[in-house]
């Protein structure tokens, strides 16, 4: 993270003096700023600075205080922050304002955090992140503790990149296991689906692959019975009331797959995907793939320039979701020419 990105006076959301908590653009920008606060808290720790004292304007400007930092016991890094809303009149909070926000940072490629961050990225790629005891499970426990103190409607989850994957898994777990549906902001969430037949140009070979898939599905049904597929449908349906906000950039290869996914997906094929079904049946992990959501509010950011390494880095960056925000249908950054659309409801009706 460049030093100027840490300076609220240079790049922060200082022009949003009064937050309208009913305005989706305001909420998006504030949530992104709070995630930025989680990044900065870890950066401060690496510099041996107090993470709760340095640069508090990333959260204090919007009347939040740091209630707790979430620490990875493997490398002592700060990977999340629990914020609490502190208003001048605590008995009369602004309408729709969250009482608590739990924000998770993404990967920081510095010596003291890179190794563990990359290990977790590999766990994400191999669908093992849900079993992680250093971040996911403590994060879920922390959210459950917050839910005991406040109504779910007053709690937000937010995350960027790897942090958005953790926030998504926490949100899914709260929905499926607790019946609690938390407002969730997922910035550049990794889309990790792979399809063997997606790029096959030979109709004959594609038919062979489809036939093989059908045989495997039949075998799974024989081993596990039809109740196996029914259980997966039940998991999917339990997520329906939870509608997270997905923020993706069309030029970001890490998250842009969600755009095509929601345009062309086939629910039955997704639920019965071979890779996840085999894992669920034989490795005893019944969870659906992380990317599979019944519904979402999808917001797309667009870069006008042709993608290159620099542009891809910007496309995956968090800054675009708050920087130079105008009060209106979106905002444009004069240097990177980024345009952000309004959210589009996607998924099952």
Predicted confidence (pLDDT) per residue in 73-88, tens digit: 999 999 999 999 987 7
**Interatomic CA distance for residues 208 and 184, integer angstroms:** 41
Instruction: Provide the token pair at 18.
Output: 């009064």
What is the model's pLDDT at position 296?
Answer: 95
**Nearest partner of 168 among 9, 74, 176, 207, judged by Cα:** 176
What is the model's pLDDT at position 236?
Answer: 86
Is residue 19 within 8 Å of 31, Cβ to Cβ?
no
CA 37 to each of CA 31, 166, 215, 246, 319: distance values in angstroms, whole numbers, following the listed order: 10, 17, 50, 20, 12
Predicted confidence (pLDDT) per residue in 180-230, tens digit: 999 999 999 999 875 444 444 555 555 544 454 444 445 544 444 556 667
How many CA atoms are closer than 13 Å to the CA of 145, on its beta-carbon side? Answer: 11
* pLDDT greater than 80 at residue 41: yes
**Interatomic CA distance for residues 252 and 262, integer angstroms:** 16
**Interatomic CA distance for residues 161 and 286, integer angstroms:** 24
Q: Which long-range contacts (CB under 8 A, 24 or more apart) does 178-181 make?
A: 178/144, 178/147, 180/147, 180/152, 181/152, 181/241, 181/242
Confidence band, pLDDT 50/70/90 cuts, at residue 3 = low
- The pTM for the full model equals 0.85
Is residue 113 within 8 Å of 39, Cβ to Cβ?
no
Predicted confidence (pLDDT) per residue in 91-112, tens digit: 677 888 999 999 999 999 887 8
Residue range 23-32: average pLDDT?
93
């Amino acid at each position: 993270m460049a030093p100027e990105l840490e300076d609220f006076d240079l790049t922060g959301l200082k022009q949003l003096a009064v937050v309208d908590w009913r305005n989706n653009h305001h909420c998006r920008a504030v949530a992104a700023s709070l995630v930025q606060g989680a990044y900065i808290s870890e950066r401060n720790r690496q510099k041996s600075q107090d993470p709760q004292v340095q640069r508090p304007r990333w959260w204090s400007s919007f009347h939040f205080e740091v209630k707790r930092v979430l620490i990875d016991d493997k490398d002592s890094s700060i990977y999340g922050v629990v914020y609490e809303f502190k208003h001048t009149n605590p008995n009369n909070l602004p309408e729709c304002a969250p009482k608590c926000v739990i924000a998770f940072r993404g990967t920081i490629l510095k010596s003291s955090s890179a190794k563990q961050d990359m290990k977790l990225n590999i766990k994400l790629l191999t669908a093992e992140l849900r079993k992680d005891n250093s971040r996911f499970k403590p994060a879920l426990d922390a959210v459950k503790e917050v839910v005991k103190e406040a109504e779910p409607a007053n709690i937000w989850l937010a995350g960027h990149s790897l942090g958005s994957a953790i926030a998504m898994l926490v949100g899914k777990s709260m929905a499926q296991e607790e019946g609690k549906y938390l407002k969730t902001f997922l910035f550049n969430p990794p889309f990790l689906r792979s399809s063997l037949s997606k790029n096959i140009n030979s109709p004959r070979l594609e038919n062979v692959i489809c036939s093989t898939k059908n045989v495997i599905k039949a075998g799974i049904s024989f081993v596990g019975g039809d109740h196996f597929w029914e259980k997966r449908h039940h998991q999917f349906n339990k997520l329906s009331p939870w509608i997270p906000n997905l923020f993706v950039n069309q030029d970001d290869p890490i998250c842009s797959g969600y755009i095509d996914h929601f345009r062309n997906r086939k629910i039955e094929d997704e639920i019965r995907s071979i890779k996840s079904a085999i894992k669920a049946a034989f490795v005893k992990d019944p969870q659906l793939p992380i990317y599979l959501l019944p519904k979402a509010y999808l917001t797309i950011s667009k870069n006008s320039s042709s993608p290159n390494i620099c542009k891809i880095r910007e496309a995956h960056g968090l800054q675009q979701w708050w920087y130079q925000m105008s009060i209106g249908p979106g905002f444009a950054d004069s240097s990177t020419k980024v345009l952000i659309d309004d959210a589009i409801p996607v998924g099952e009706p």
